[in-house]
Chains A and B, each alone.
Chain A
Amino acid sequence: MELSKIVQEKSFLGQEFLTWLWWMSENGAEFALPDGKQLSLILGERLSLAPPWGHEGSRVGVAGKDQALAEAREGLRRGKLLDSLRLGLNIDGHDYWLTLESVWLFPRSVRLPAGAGSEEQGLDIDGLLLERLALLENLTAAVDSLFTVFLEQRLEHISAWPEFKSWLKNSGSQA
């Protein structure tokens, strides 16, 4: 299948993944990564919603805390899905921040754990670079692991996913 066709027809998977991440963060879900590290999610203060692929409708971007989230929940209740999400990944006690967009899932505005890979550690330039590359590898591997867990759950619920659907439907009442 051509790339443009995949982007057009299969982008629902990215939207569903981001929405699932919100659900998981709200449930306080914890994940064991393949390398033994523990991962938990922190919902950031910036996200956007859009109608599911192939549906008409407007995009909603929200930033901030309670009120903005209430608006986003209302969007979910009305059938919109996440289009982009600011997310914190706590990996073994270290916070990594990134923004994910549904189409590409490329990590944007990445912030690595405070202090790690900084000059304060007394590393030379090459040492700093290797330290930061290792952190970026942790981050991208964690995103891939989360996507794998999502995919396995999604395929288990190929015809219906009542728990997820129920959260989507009732999310407006949690505001």
Chain B
Amino acid sequence: MALLKGSLGLSRYKVEGNLPSDFWSWLNRRILQNIFIDIESSTIDKSSGWVSAHDYFDVSFAFEVYNFNPYVVLGLRQDKRTVSAALVRKYHRLEINRQRELQPEARLSKPDREMLKEKARLQLLARIPPQTATWEMCWHTGRGEVWFTTGNRALLDTGLELFQKSFSPLFLTPRLPWLMAQEILPGHGGLARLTPMSSE
């Protein structure tokens, strides 16, 4: 858990929108609606959701373990299986060969071939264990700010989507220097006239 030990990176976002008046019970409901669903014994290729920040196998959230008022600390987990195109091609061919052995006279139509390809892909997905990625989100409810403990673009996108899906109509905007400037000095006429120093 990066928030607990060692060096870490923070990707900072501003929470846009007003928090509901029953915030903590609303939050609990929304978290439980979007917990991580295990895909270990399935052929689903991707799953992501909230887990306990202390233990990525724990999705019970007993005693509101995420509640560190004013902070909300949640773990994010993404499990993903990837089957390479080369592997699908190889097992697709094996399926076609098997079919031809079973029915030497039958001619395989295009839909038949597609079906065999999907069958090969699903069989491979069932054999390949998903890879797990975990990171954390810290939401400072007082400051209206969210930190993700990853700089990985794909994982950040997953985190942003999960936040939006879970806590809509709230949404996140990155704390880019220009947006920070607009927040610090709202309506300051000078900002609109600001051009790079190099061009002055």
Contact = CB atoms under 8 A, between A and B. Distances in A.
Interface string A89-104: 0000000000000111
| Interface hub of A53, A79, A129 (most chain B Cβ within 10 A) | A129
Contacts of A11: 177-178
A133 interface: yes
A160 B9 contact: no
Interface string B179-200: 1110011001011011111111
Q: Provide the main secondary structure of the chain B interface.
A: mixed
B33 interface: no
Q: What range describes how many residues of A lie at the interface? A: 35 or more
A136 B10 contact: yes
Interface stretch (A25-33, A58-66, A67-75, A146-154): A146-154
Q: Provide the main secondary structure of the chain A interface.
A: helix
Contacts of B188: 155
Contacts of B196: 12, 16, 52-54
Nearest to A79: B198
A158 B193 contact: yes
Interface residues of B, number: 40
B85 interface: no
A79 B197 CA distance: 10
Contact of B177 (A10, A54, A155): A10
A85 to B, nearest CB: 13
Interface in A118-138: 125-126, 128-130, 132-133, 136-137
A16 B5 CA distance: 32
Interface in B3-24: 3-4, 7-12
A81 interface: yes
A154 B54 contact: no
B181 A151 contact: yes
B178 A147 contact: no
Nearest 7 pairs of A and B residues by beta carbon: A10-B178, A52-B198, A12-B196, A108-B9, A155-B190, A14-B177, A13-B177
Given A130-B68, A133-B3, A140-B147, 17 more contacts: A6-B176, A10-B178, A12-B196, A12-B197, A13-B178, A81-B198, A104-B174, A105-B180, A107-B9, A108-B10, A125-B54, A130-B71, A147-B177, A147-B180, A147-B181, A160-B200, A161-B200
Interface of B: 3-4, 7-12, 54, 68, 71, 73, 138, 140, 143, 145, 147, 151, 173-181, 184-185, 188, 190-191, 193-200
9 contacts: A3-B174, A11-B178, A110-B10, A129-B4, A144-B184, A147-B177, A155-B190, A158-B194, A160-B200
